[in-house]
A and B are shown apart, each in its own frame.
Chain A
Amino acid sequence: MRHLLSTADLTRGEAIRILDTAAQMAATQSREIKKLPTLRGRTVVNLFFEDSTRTRISFETAAKRLSADVINFSAKGSSVSKGESLKDTALTLQAMGADAVVIRHQASGAPHTLAHAGWVDSAVVNAGDGMHQHPTQALLDAYTMRRHLTGGGTGEGQDLAGVRVAIVGDVLHSRVARSNVQLLHTLGAHVTLVAPPTLVPVGVEAWPCEVSFHLDEVLVDQRPDAVMMLRVQRERMSSAGGGFFPSPLEYTRGYGLDARRLGMLSERAIVMHPGPMNRGLEISAEAADSPRAVIVEQVANGVAVRMAVLYLLLAGDVTQDSQQDKAGQ
């Protein structure tokens, strides 16, 4: 593994390896001394062209817990707002000697370009690009599901075979949904997307999942083990924003997770949300604060998963790794 750009690139073995490494990283985070010397002397650049609080802080925490130096670069107030291109920004980072670049960009494919254009030697981690991918979010979701839904412990070495997941909401604009569908499929889970017809992307039939327009039916028929609510942006309802749904109230009635739907879930089902939540729109306060909700735990797991990704990309000599992979095949 040289870069982490998309969950579609991950094999089942690689995904399980990341999750297992994350489990060990999580174990170190319950200690009094949380910092490890592993990435001492390495530099991680957080290159954020789009606003983000939790993902950036999560990556920053992960890198610092592994003793890497962290440079935060946000587009606002930087040379990007003066019109610098991605290439020139990348060349600057290269000159500063970044070992890894964590990039969030509003354009789908920007991390791929950064990784493959030859501008930088660093490992590239996609922290969300446009409506394309957000692989570390999907990994932390899978890690959270594995902890709760596979038998005892952290579920080390296991995949998610037989786990049923419903992903509900604005699938059309969601990189979280795209990343999760691919990763969960790779790990053997059964995914159902639930969204109003206007928020289902064209070409979804090619995705390895089912699609439904009715949340109540899915909750009754599929008995999902995990319900993942996606964030809905209020501006999507105005005609300027695309007019995807007529009113927030109508969306909440059709697709919001409220107390009634919470009661329909099976005993062991968990409620997930990638954050930030719109309480009262896609998720009610009862659901968000219920004991089934693992939303805060997702944030904590995010640090462990990102530590694992940075460790696997930066700690070893990855050129030898690829040779070993080839030899092992």
Chain B
Amino acid sequence: MTSGPGLPPDSTPDTPSASADAGTTEVLGATEISRALTRIAHEILERNKGGADVVLLGVPTRGVPLARRLASRLVAVEPGLDVGALVGTLDVTMHRDDLHRQPPRAIGRTELPEGGIDDRVVVLVDDVLFSGRTIRAALDAISDVGRPRAVQLAALVDRGHRELPIRPDFVGKNLPTSLSERVSVLVEEIDGCDAVLIGPGGPGRGEPGGGAR
């Protein structure tokens, strides 16, 4: 599912199942996703010289479970860390610039770890990086809840087509795509399985900055 942040929880996820849609191909499977997350976790620790100051903020919907998994990997590598103090969620819905072009979005939850984010290094975690507009909204949302020392960005998939000067610090996989394609990330916690799928876009889905990525 791609619409990621702010997808109304009551709406049926239009899961593109490989069997139903002949044009959909699996780009990453569960093992590859797991390896990519493990690598990103190590890169985060390496870049920040440990995890003492790091806070992982998942962007709803699918950034949240990804951030939790990264947090448990960080803790596995550096046993001194505590998952509860490491991970949170950051809802960006109310800071989006495309609100008026779409039906009202359900607002997700913002939960900061104890101790907040002031003077810490925030790593934003999202599933797909596309136009960069979600991340712009996230940067605004961060400034409303605190003042981190630095903000870094981790994305499981970077599909290109940026519309803003934003680049990721940690990427699971660079996935060159055409604008008409649709990239979907499925995660176990929400969709029942781990996969990154690429398929032909539905009507009006290819537009960057819209709901789909």
Q: Please state if A24 and B103 are interface contacts (CB–CB under 8 Å).
A: no
- Is B109 touching A24 in the complex (CB atoms < 8 A)? yes
Contact A20 B102 (CB under 8 A): no
Taking A31-B145, A37-B94, A328-B12 as contacts, is the C-beta distance between A311 and B103 under 8 angstroms? no
Beta-carbon contact of B10 and A17 below 8 Å: yes
Output the least CB separation between B160 and chain A (Å).
27
- Mark B124-149 against chain A: 1 for CB-CB distance below 8 A, else 0: 00000000000000001000110000
What are 13 A-B contacts defined by CB distance under 8 Å? A20-B107, A21-B107, A31-B144, A37-B94, A37-B95, A37-B140, A311-B104, A316-B100, A317-B102, A318-B103, A318-B104, A324-B11, A328-B11
Chain B residue total in the interface (Cβ 8 A): 21
B interface secondary structure, majority: loop
Q: A321 near B: Cβ within 8 Å?
A: yes
**Cβ of A197 < 8 Å from any Cβ of B?**
no
Residue pair B95, A316 in contact (C-beta under 8 Å)? no
Known contacts A25-B107, A37-B94; A316 and B102 CB within 8 A of each other: yes
Contact between B104 and A36, CB atoms less than 8 A apart: no
Bound form: Cα–Cα A321–B10 in Å = 13
Q: Which residues of A contact B105 (CB under 8 A)?
A: 315-316
Q: What's the Cα separation between A320 and B109 when bound, in Å? A: 24
Q: How large is the interface on A (under 10, 10 to 19, 20 to 34, 35 or more residues)?
A: 20 to 34
Beta-carbon contacts of A25-43 to B below 8 Å, as 1s and 0s?
A: 1011001010011100000
Tell whether A24 pairs with B100 under 8 Å between CB atoms, given A36-B144, A328-B12: no
Interfacial chain B residues near A33, Cβ < 8 Å:
144-145
- Note all chain A residues with C-beta closer than 8 A to B12: 328
Interchain CA distance A313-B103 in the complex, whole Å: 10
Q: How far is the CB of A254 from chain B (nearest CB, A)?
A: 45
Taking the complex as formed, is A237 at the interface, i.e. its CB lies under 8 A from any CB of chain B? no
Known A17-B10, A31-B145, A324-B11: A24·B104 in contact at CB below 8 Å: no
B172 at the interface (CB under 8 A from A): no
Q: Do B100 and A317 touch across chains, with their CB atoms under 8 A apart? A: yes
Given contacts A20-B106, A21-B106, A37-B140, contact A315 B99 (CB under 8 A): yes
Our pick among B103, B109, B110 for the contact of A317 (Cβ within 8 Å) is B103
Residue of A nearest to B146 (CB): A32
**B102 engages A320 (CB within 8 Å):** yes
Residue of A24, A313, A324 near B107 (CB, 8 A) is A24
Instruction: A25 to B95: give the CA distance in the assembly, Å.
Output: 13
Which of B101, B106, B107, B110 has the largest number of chain A CB atoms within 10 A? B107
Complex interface residues of chain A between 1 and 56 (CB less than 8 A to chain B): 13, 17, 20-21, 24-25, 27-28, 31, 33, 36-38
